[in-house]
Amino acid sequence: MLRVALKGLAGRKLRAVLTALAIILGVAMISGTYVLTDGINSAFTSIFTQTYQNADAVISAKTAFTNDQGNQVQAPGFSQSLLGKVQTLPDVNAAAGSVTDDQTQLVGRDNKVISGGGGGSLALSVNPTGDQRFNPLKLTSGTWPSGPHEIAISSNVASSKGYKVGDTIGVARNGPVQQFKIAGLVELPGVSIGGATLSVFDLPTLQKLLGRQGELDIIRVQSKAGVPTSKLISEIKPILPHGTQVRNVAAQVKEDKKSASSFTSFIRYVLLAFAGIALFVGSFVIANTLSITIAQRTREFATLRTLGATRRQVLTSVIVEALVIGLFASVAGLFLGLGIAKLLNSIFSLVGFDLPTAGTVFETRTVIVCLVVGTVITLIASLRPALRATRVPPIAAVREGAELPRGRFARWAPWASGVTLLLGVLLLGYGVLGHHLPTSTRLLSLGVGILLLFFGVAANAQRLVKPLASVLGWPATRIGGTAGVLARDNTMRNPKRTASTASALMIGLALVTFVAILGQGIRSSFESAVDQLFIADYALTSSNTFTPLTIQAEKAIARAPGVTVVSGIRAGSAKVFGSVENLTGADPNLTKVIHLDWKEGSNAVPAELGQTGAFVDDKYAKSNDLHVGSPLDIETPTAKVLHLKVDGVFKLPKGGSPFGPVTISNALFDKNYVDPQNEMAFVNIEGGVTPANTAALNKATAGFPDAKVQTHSEFKSNFEKPLNAIISLLYVLLALSIIVSLFGIVNTLVLTVFERTREIGMLRAVGMTRRQTRRMIRHESVVTSLIGAALGIIVGFFLAILVTHALSDEGIVFAVPYASIVFFVIAAIIVGLLAAIWPARRAAKLNVLEALQYE
């Protein structure tokens, strides 16, 4: 019987491949995700390890805490004098100090910042003379920079922007752009750093550029031969000044990797979630395809039974087929994933995340997960059709069109599907609305709830097919003529099959609808918050809006003619009530540019903050029981504690505000934070927003290529850019699931064309042309997709309403992007048209005579 199963597969290769396609894409996504994130992790490990080559111990500055975003917390440097002391230690063979920075931007010939693309704008110092044992970089041309006017840049910048040794390039950090001569081009061997830009200077030059003369960030120490690192470290410890620490290289690399690996973990889980969705859709497609093929093989199964095959043998044979398909699909997907990894990397770069990669990392874990997941999902999806195959009675071998007897539990099927749907809705509600529950319970409830919801809708969808098809198929009857009418009737002929095919598309469309509505909700509430708060004429931010901007730019813009108010908002982190929060700084003129509604206090508050005051938002005040007069202690990254008093509580608008939970005065901020920066600054100018004023402000900030002057509406659209980019990314990831469901439609059409061979032959014999035949199949396909779209959009709305309601106090409103919804409907129609291309051709190519004689 095994041979029968395998030979059966080999004889129906096309069908097997069509079935397998459903799983290949999902598995490829898993494989690609692992390959990509493993590559990124490997790159980071290489980078961090190479950074400390030849060193045994690393001395660095301590921060009291770290913010998850990493670059928000700037560690203060330590005195250069420590280097001399370390070098004289008995077991030290060599030691070298350097400074580093992650906001040193290169400025191109057009006076625009060369973006670091998510990888950052990094600067390192090197010693141009002396040995380069600690220097992880390699020169690809030229020499190490020496002196106050020389720089070396990473070769990726050189090739993408057309620079070579001897050219000049601008550098911006904390002040106007300075020009440097390119002495050499560097790279980190074996690693592609993605889009990150690297600037290399000699130590005094970089120290001056950063305004940190006499300071170091890192000392690398190499021990004498034979000295264990622990001994070295114990020698170093006693001479360390307060605020510094020493680690062995392994521990240092581990520390450095923390934020990088949490980022890649996050990406990995998100991508795997989308792979999971694609596989979920794939399982629907497999179940549907197998159901159809098994119905078509009724006579074959019945014959086997008459020859003495037991029901178990039939079950085993179908399951073996599914197993082989699953295995084959998993292997194919595994290798396709290598291509997907590259594709994902390109997509991420397009969205602005050009991350470092280090070759292709193909781990055993990737292979195992792909094979197991792909095969298991295929098996599970095949169970129901396989069981149905066992119910074929032997008499079906002689009787044409014998009805498959219903299973033992068939009577309860309508109840079961209703209960599934209800349970899904309940679990969703529970997860979404249960604020008091732990997050893991809520997520589990949500996850299972969504699955059950989809299953429930799919199971009940057959009841909706007839009404939906008659409505959605109406255009087909109008524009398709007879072919259109036949097409619509064909979709209604077997509601179960149509529903099953449409359900696969439903899942993808429900999710894109959900994302679209949520995105619009976030946008709307953000826009209304900006409308409420932003009363200034212009805003000043960095060019990519989210990174902070040097306060020198604020000072420069204040000198523009006609400026009446410039108010900057500082950004940093502090530890308050035991957790790390965003801390912002406000200027006395704040209320002239930002409109705040005060719960306690008044517009006089920002000017009165002084050295001891702070204001908080009302949400934070509520959860920490703060009122005007309450004491508030905050810990800065230098571990200094500031004892403050709450002077005011403002009402936080739904869509957010530029402020963190706690805001202090800029004066106090600048005193306690290394290298204070603005997250944004606001400007009022005589005459308001005019082209002349815009030009004047741009001129004033010309020396800061990273600075961007925006009006109220430009500010809104610039902030929304990343949100839109993320939503587009989500659409692309969901498109994978939609493509899988497209294959599902192709499968169903190909199989039903095959099934209706005689019927199509008859239609052609009585005069239907090939073109009409193709049209009929096309319309059938489009009506099926539209049914899937209708179901999906309704489910998507439902999910969005649920989640918006739950997150309403987090600041999301319910807003419908009608244009997007229309776009989705059009996309569904296109999916239908694409899916029909091949089956329509097959149907039209049928030889009439052979078709009529087909058994």
* Binding site residues, other proteins, CB under 8 A: 1, 3-4, 7-8, 10-12, 299-300, 303-311, 313, 393-395, 397-398, 855
Report the residue number, 393 or 562, with the smaller CB distance to other proteins: 393
Q: Output 7 or 112, the one with its CB closest to other proteins.
A: 7
Nearer to other proteins, 400 or 809 (CB): 400
Rg (CA), the chain: 33
Residue with tokens 């032959």: 761
- Comparison of 304 and 340: residue with beta carbon closer to other proteins: 304
CA angle 445, 812, 656 (to 5 degrees): 125
Least distance to other proteins from the beta carbon of 12, Å? 7
Least separation, in Å, of the C-beta of 10 and other proteins? 7
Question: Are residues 302 and 394 in contact, defined by beta-carbon separation less than 8 angstroms?
Answer: yes
How does DSSP assign 185-208, residue by residue? EEE-TT-B-TT-EEEEEEHHHHHH
How far does CA 29 lie from the centroid of its chain? 14
Q: Which is nearer to other proteins, 619 or 758 (CB)?
A: 758
**Is 148 within 8 Å of 205 (Cβ atoms)?**
yes
The one-letter amino acid at 192: S
| Nearest alpha carbon to residue 179 among 210, 141, 148, 144 | 148
With respect to other proteins, which residue has the nearer C-beta, 10 or 273?
Answer: 10
Question: Residue 538 — φ and ψ, nearest 5°?
Answer: -135, 160
For 717, other C-beta atoms within 10 Å of its C-beta total 12
Asked if 399 and 359 count as a contact pair (C-beta separation under 8 A), the reply is no
Shorter beta-carbon distance to other proteins: residue 209 or 397: 397
461: which 2 tokens?
A: 């969808």
Beta strands 613-617 and 641-650 are parallel
CB of residue 319 to other proteins, shortest distance in Å: 16
Give min distance, CB of 473 to other proteins, in A: 35
Nearer to other proteins among residue 809 and residue 855 (C-beta): 855
Q: How far is the CB of 843 from other proteins (least distance, A)?
A: 21
CB of 16 to other proteins, least distance (A): 12
Instruction: Give the nearest distance from C-beta 50 to other proteins in angstroms.
Output: 58
Nearer to other proteins, 19 or 264 (CB): 19
Q: Considering Cα of 23, then 27, then 32, then 33, what sign does the dihedral take?
A: positive
- Residue closer to other proteins, measured from CB, 392 or 574: 392
Q: Which lies closer to other proteins via its Cβ, residue 15 or residue 212? A: 15
Check residue 155 and report its DSSP letter. H
What is the closest distance, in whole angstroms, from the C-beta atom of residue 756 to other proteins in the complex?
A: 19
70: left (phi over 0), alpha (psi -120 to 50) or beta: left
In the complex with other proteins, the residue whose CB is nearer, 11 or 561, is 11
C-alpha dist (Å) from residue 342 to 370, 507, 852 = 18, 26, 49
Instruction: Identify which of residues 230 and 310 has a Cβ nearer to other proteins in the complex.
Output: 310
Shortest CB 397 distance to other proteins, Å: 6
List all residues 6 or more positions away from 306 whose beta carbon is below 8 Å from its beta carbon: 394, 397
DSSP secondary structure of 781-833: HHHHHHHHHHHHHHHHHHHHHHHHHHTGGGT------HHHHHHHHHHHHHHHH
In this complex, which beta carbon is closest to other proteins, that of residue 313 or of residue 460? 313
Please tell me whether residue 95 adopts helix, strand or coil conformation: strand
Cβ(267)–Cβ(273) below 8 Å: no
User: Is 11 or 228 the residue whose CB approaches other proteins more closely?
Assistant: 11
Distance of closest approach, residue 398 Cβ to other proteins, in angstroms: 6
Q: How far is the CB of 308 from other proteins (least distance, A)?
A: 3
CB contact burial 482-520 (16+ within 10 A = b; e otherwise): ebbbbbbebbbebbebbbbbbbbbbbbbbbbbbbbbbbb
**In the complex, what is the shortest distance from the CB of residue 253 to other proteins, in angstroms, rounded to a whole number?**
58
Residue among 489, 497, 20 at smallest CA distance from 295? 497
Kindly state the helix (H) or strand (E) to which residue 600 belongs, with its residue range: strand 598-600
Distance CA 731, CA 738 (A): 10
Q: Quote the DSSP letter at residue 708.
A: E
Separation between Cα atoms, residue 137 and residue 140, nearest integer Å: 9
The pair phi, psi for residue 414, each rounded to 5°, is -60, -40
Q: How far apart are CA 217 and CA 499, in angstroms?
A: 64
Least Cβ distance, residue 760 to other proteins (angstroms): 21
CB of 68 to other proteins, least distance (A): 59
How, if at all, do strands 57-61 and 244-248 pair? antiparallel
Q: Which is nearer to other proteins, 295 or 837 (CB)?
A: 295
**Smallest separation, CB 730 to other proteins (Å):** 44
Measured from the CB atom, is 236 or 302 closer to other proteins?
Answer: 302
β-strand partners of 549:
678
The nearest distance, CB 324 to other proteins, in angstroms, is: 14
Shortest Cβ distance from residue 493 to other proteins (Å)?
25
List C-alpha distances in Å: 805 to 110, 444, 812, 820.
Answer: 48, 19, 8, 21
Question: One-letter amino acid identity for 804?
Answer: T
- Comparing CA positions, the residue from 142, 30, 160 lying closest to residue 106 is 160
Shortest separation between residue 286's beta carbon and other proteins, angstroms: 21
- Are 282 and 332 in contact by the 8 Å Cβ rule? The answer is no
Query: For the chain, what is the total number of helices (H) and then of strands (E)?
Result: 26, 26
**Which residue's CB is nearer to other proteins, number 397 or number 680?**
397
